[in-house]
Structure formats: structure tokens, C-alpha cells
């Protein structure tokens, strides 16, 4: 953009990572509403915090209370929601944090855009829970409303969810409990050198 100049900082991402003894990244949790994204992301953050690592969790509902409160749920608003979160996540990675995001992010194109913005330390975590199971859990009562026609553009019902084709981490929630799911994700971080224990 005209009249804008990027200002380099004396303190770099590597400097910030060094004092935190970790490598920053974004764990991008995607899945249907009620799949367990927020619950598992919370448990991953809790376990990492207990291990002494520096984290921050960006949750879809929480972000829509502030930064993205002007956005609805049309396809274009969903795209803008994900774009903004991607830019915020990129800043958090630069700060040296292990960043967790819990957003439905239903469209592959938008998740690819997030990957492009964030870069090589984007880790897609597919929280794979069947629609029927999510509808049964229905922690917010949204499935009941959507199935009764009270909510339009509901992901998985009258708005599509495009599952990841090749996520870095694929969690099938019917096969493990929350703690086990979180441990699998942390094992991935250890294997890839993001955390050293």
C-alpha cells in the first residue's frame, strides 16, 4: 500500500523463541461445530502450559465478541473472519508463541490462505467428528435450531464443510478421549522440534 513502510525490529522471532525455549507455530484446529475443537485445543494449551511452554488460544466464539464482532456467517464474512485470524496468528508466531486457533474454517481455500499467510509453521489439525455425533452432543443447542430451520447457512447442513485432504494431524474423536487427543498433538510438536522436553 502507498505510504506504508514495514519497520524491522531489533528483537527477532528467533530471539523471542530462544528465551521461551520453544519454536513458535500455529495449531489450526478445524472441524464441525461441536466436534471438540475448543475442548481439545484447551486441553493441549493446558498441558503445554503445565510443561512450561508459552501459548495462546484464539477461539472462534471469543474472537467474534471483539475483533470480528462486525462479521456474520455468510460465506464472505466467514472468509474475512479466517483472513483476520490468520494475520493475528502470524503476529503471534512472530512473538514466539505456540498459537492455537479453534475455528470451524469450513473452506479449504480459506485454510490454504491461512497457510500461505502464516507460512511453514502452520499445522492443520483436523478434529474429525461425524455430523451425527456433533448433532448428538450439540453443546450450544445450535444443531437443534439449525435442524428446525431457525439458523441458516449452518456448516454441515445447508452450508458445506470441506474436510482437509492432507492435514498434518488427523484426530478422530470417537477413537480417543480429550486427554489422549491432546497428547497425540503434543507428541507431534515434540517430534517436529517445536517443544523440547
The model's pLDDT over 4-17, given as tens digits with 9 standing for 90+, comes to 777 788 999 899 99
| The domain over range 23-191 is classified in CATH as 3.40.50.300 | yes
Specify the 3-state DSSP secondary structure of 195: strand
The catalytic residue positions are 105
Let me know: does 104 contact 11? Beta carbons within 8 Å. Answer: no
| 64-83 pLDDT, tens digit each | 777 777 777 777 887 888 88
DSSP-H helix ranges across 28-107: 37-50, 60-63, 75-94
pLDDT at 3: 75
Predicted TM-score of the model (pTM):
0.89
Amino acid at each position: 500500500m502507498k505510504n506504508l513502510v514495514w519497520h524491522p525490529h531489533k528483537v527477532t522471532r528467533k530471539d523471542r523463541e530462544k528465551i521461551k525455549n520453544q519454536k513458535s507455530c500455529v495449531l489450526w484446529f478445524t472441524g464441525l461445530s461441536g466436534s471438540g475443537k475448543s475442548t481439545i485445543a484447551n486441553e493441549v494449551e493446558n498441558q503445554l502450559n503445565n510443561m512450561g511452554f508459552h501459548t495462546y488460544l484464539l477461539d472462534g466464539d471469543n474472537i467474534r465478541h471483539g475483533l470480528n464482532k462486525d462479521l456474520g456467517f455468510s460465506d464472505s464474512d466467514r472468509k474475512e473472519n479466517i483472513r483476520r485470524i490468520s494475520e493475528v496468528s502470524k503476529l503471534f508466531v512472530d512473538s514466539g508463541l505456540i498459537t492455537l486457533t479453534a475455528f470451524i474454517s469450513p473452506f479449504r481455500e480459506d485454510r490454504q490462505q491461512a497457510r500461505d499467510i502464516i507460512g511453514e509453521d502452520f499445522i492443520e489439525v483436523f478434529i474429525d467428528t461425524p455430523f451425527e455425533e456433533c448433532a448428538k452432543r450439540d453443546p450450544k443447542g445450535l444443531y437443534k435450531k439449525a435442524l428446525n430451520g431457525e439458523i441458516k447457512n449452518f456448516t454441515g447442513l445447508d452450508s458445506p464443510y470441506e474436510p482437509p485432504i492432507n492435514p498434518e494431524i488427523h484426530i478422530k474423536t470417537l477413537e480417543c478421549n480429550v486427554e489422549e487427543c491432546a497428547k497425540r498433538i503434543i507428541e507431534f510438536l515434540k517430534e517436529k522440534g517445536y517443544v523440547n522436553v
